[in-house]
Structure formats: C-alpha cells, structure tokens
Amino acid sequence: MGVSGEFTELLLDMLAPVGQVSARRMFSGVGLFHAGLMFGLVVDDTLYLKVDDRTRADFEAEGLPAFSYATQQGRRTIQSYWRAPERLLDDTDEFEAWCRSAIATALRADRAKPKSAPKAKTHKAQRQPTRKPTRKPAG
C-alpha cells in the first residue's frame, strides 16, 4: 500500500476550485481535508470519498466498494469511505461535484457528533487570606 506524490498532487490540483484542501499522510495512505474535516482518503493511488446514508446510494449505483484493508484477523471494512468512480479523474466538473458532496457529508458528520460538555473546573480549597487585626483608633 502507498500513495504516490504525483497522484496526491494531481488530486490537490483538481481540488483547487473547492478551496483550501490539504493532504496529510496517515498510516499507509493520505487523508484529504477541507476546513479541518477529512472528506477523502487515498490508498494505493485510489481515491475514496466520505459517505453517509444520504450519499451511499450514489456509490452503490456505480457498483463501488467501501474502503477495506487486511488485518491479521481478516478484512476490515470502513463504511464511511467508498471508492470514487475512476472516470472522475477525466471530468473535472464531475470530480468537483463528488468531492463537494463528500465535503458536505464530512460537515454533516461533524455536526452530528455530540459536543463534549465543558470540563467541570475543579476548585482547590481556596485559602482565605490572613488578615491582620485592625486596631480601633484611640480617642
């Protein structure tokens, strides 16, 4: 497994109209990020895009598989990333549309995450300042 630098650069060039997209090495692949959210995965020079219940049917209609990899215990499948149609690399408009859909999917997933409650601040026993006794003025 691996990802060639040339393939990653091609994808980043094609993603330029989408806005700030970055690529970050992850294990034996590369994650594609927009606004800090991962929407794409590249492994073995194959692009996988983020899916959810709204978009999975598009991938299924194309006969595309979910991302999977081999482990010592067998094959593990990640249902949130599915292979992108190869023809997208030849059609920049369609490529952009599928990637924008994956970005929207990543945004929906992020919004659906339960936000962690702010951590309760632990207050140490506060030490009261010692006061000097006050003297009443004589007189």
Domains located in the chain, CATH noted? 5-112 (3.30.1460.30)
- 3-state DSSP assignment of residue 49: strand
**Whole-prediction pTM value?**
0.78
What is the spatial distance between Cα 72 and Cα 54, in angstroms, rounded to a whole number? Answer: 32
Exposure string (b/e) for 2-27, b if CB count within 10 Å is 16 or more? ebeeebbeebeebbeebeebebeeee
Looking at residue 92, its pLDDT comes to 95
Chain segment 50-71, per-residue pLDDT in tens: 999 999 999 999 999 999 988 8
Return per-residue pLDDT of the chain as tens, 139 residues: 567 789 999 999 999 999 999 999 988 899 999 999 999 999 999 999 999 999 999 999 999 999 998 888 988 888 999 999 999 999 999 999 999 999 999 999 999 888 776 665 555 555 555 565 566 666 5
